[in-house]
Amino acid sequence: MKSAPTWTTLPVDAGTELAFVGRSNSGKSTALNAICQQSALARTSRTPGRTRELNYFAVAETERLVDLPGYGYAAVPIPMQQAWGEFIAHYFAERRSLCGMVQMVDSRHGIRELDAELLRYAWQRQLPTLVLLSKTDKLNRQEQVNAVRKANVDLAMLHPEARVLLFSAKEKVGIEDARRFIEAQLAPTPAADVTRTHFESPR
């Protein structure tokens, strides 16, 4: 749809928008391609920090995905890292169409400090969140179980309603579930709304 290098060039803040976030090299662009069944929708690379702009993809007329630049790459100059932090705080606070977040977390490293910060922002504004533990093809079964357990412990403190899924674009693990989550956030069905409604018990 478009690449937006700055705040002022973002698409109009209407409809629904779901953000892909994660540290540099965590596998965001690869996941986006796998989930959208496209080979080169979002550019991927071996060089961390490759995605520098916000890349928007139209899913339907009023539904968008956005691949946000990865954070936490040490070689990025400090002022740029600070600018990114400020941008993201602003984005989470102001972006009304933002309806969900998919956070890529390398399953070998788990949730780290900057991931935690974003999860707190997401929890503050009650943003439905899915944490994808990426590249699980690099872990054995026991390590995968441990990674899920550890992530759930961390999330209990950061975003108690976030869900965790093992994910591998390479071995096609978690793709269908991730797609279902995204579709449910972008185009909530009346049935999905009902499940969210809080019914008070009769007094």
Ligand X SMILES: Nc1nc2c(ncn2[C@@H]2O[C@H](COP(=O)(O)OP(=O)(O)OP(=O)(O)O)[C@@H](O)[C@H]2O)c(=O)[nH]1
Residues that bind Mg ion (CB under 5 A): 28-29, 51
Which residues between 120 and 179 bind ligand X (CB under 6 A)?
134-135, 137-138, 168-170
Is 45 one of the binding residues for ligand X (CB under 6 A)?
yes
- State the minimum distance, in angstroms, from the CB of residue 199 to ligand X: 40
- State the minimum distance, in angstroms, from the CB of residue 31 to Mg ion: 9
Considering CB distances under 5 to 8 angstroms, the limit depending on partner class, which of Mg ion, ligand X, none binds residue 144? none
Contact residue for ligand X among 22, 100, 128, 174 (CB under 6 A) = 22
| CA 55/CA 18 separation, integer angstroms | 12
Q: Which of 108, 149 has the CB closer to Mg ion?
A: 108
Considering CB distances under 5 to 8 angstroms, the limit depending on partner class, which of Mg ion, ligand X, none binds residue 125? none
Q: Which of 129, 134 has the CB closer to ligand X?
A: 134
Ramachandran angles phi, psi of 165, nearest 5°: -140, 140
Maximum pairwise Cα distance, the chain: 59
Is 109 one of the binding residues for ligand X (CB under 6 A)?
no
- State the minimum distance, in angstroms, from the CB of residue 72 to ligand X: 9
- State the minimum distance, in angstroms, from the CB of residue 50 to Mg ion: 5
Binding site for ligand X (CB under 6 A): 22, 24-30, 44-46, 48-51, 70, 104, 134-135, 137-138, 168-170
